[in-house]
């Protein structure tokens, strides 16, 4: 059951690369489930990409013109971020040791980087988009509508979500 009387969800898709440069499968929460055995390589430390699917849910206890918000306006709020900045980019943590080299290569060869201040896991990307949209709604003066949740699918079987209570 939702937090609000009315909730809407819109789905977006984008293609992007990233790397989880801090991945160490022999350590961290859950490592004991596999006997702290690390496979020959931590695959997500490599440069790789995903066909991301993003689900954004907004909620309200009231309706305006019989809607929480027109889907058109929701799309307008995230179009620049998803379509122009994230889509077909390489999402890179500025703290990644490869960042200086990748930034130089991007400049030299005209490649598209999207720079962030966090390891670009699905969880952190969901939080980033959530906070981005929350700020957009506040700056636009949109009242009585809240971002409920952002879900990021990295693959058809793996997703992460972010919401605030």
Is it the case that residue 40 has pLDDT exceeding 70?
no
Please give the model's pTM, rounded to 2 decimal places: 0.94
Query: How large a percentage of the chain has pLDDT more than 70?
Result: 95
Mean pLDDT of 95-121: 98
* Whether pLDDT at 108 is above 80: yes
Supply 81's token pair: 């971020």
Annotated catalytic sites, by residue?
44, 88, 154
Greatest mean pLDDT among 19-33, 34-48, 150-164 lies in 150-164
Domains of the chain in start order, with CATH, are 6-162 (3.30.479.10)
């Amino acid at each position: 059951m939702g937090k609000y009387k009315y909730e809407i969800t819109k789905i977006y898709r984008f293609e992007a690369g990233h790397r989880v440069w801090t991945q160490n499968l022999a350590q961290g929460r859950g490592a004991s489930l596999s006997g702290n055995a690390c496979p020959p390589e931590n695959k997500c430390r490599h440069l790789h990409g995903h066909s991301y699917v993003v689900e954004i849910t907004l909620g309200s206890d009231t309706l305006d013109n019989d809607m929480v918000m027109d889907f058109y306006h929701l799309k307008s709020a995230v179009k620049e971020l998803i379509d122009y900045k994230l889509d077909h980019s390489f999402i890179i943590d500025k703290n990644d040791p490869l960042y200086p080299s990748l930034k130089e290569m991007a400049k030299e060869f005209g490649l598209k980087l999207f720079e962030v201040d966090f390891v670009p896991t699905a969880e952190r990307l969901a939080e980033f988009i959530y906070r981005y949209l929350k700020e957009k709604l506040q700056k636009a003066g949109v009242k009585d509508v809240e971002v409920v949740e952002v879900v990021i699918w990295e693959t058809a079987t793996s997703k992460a979500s972010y919401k605030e209570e």
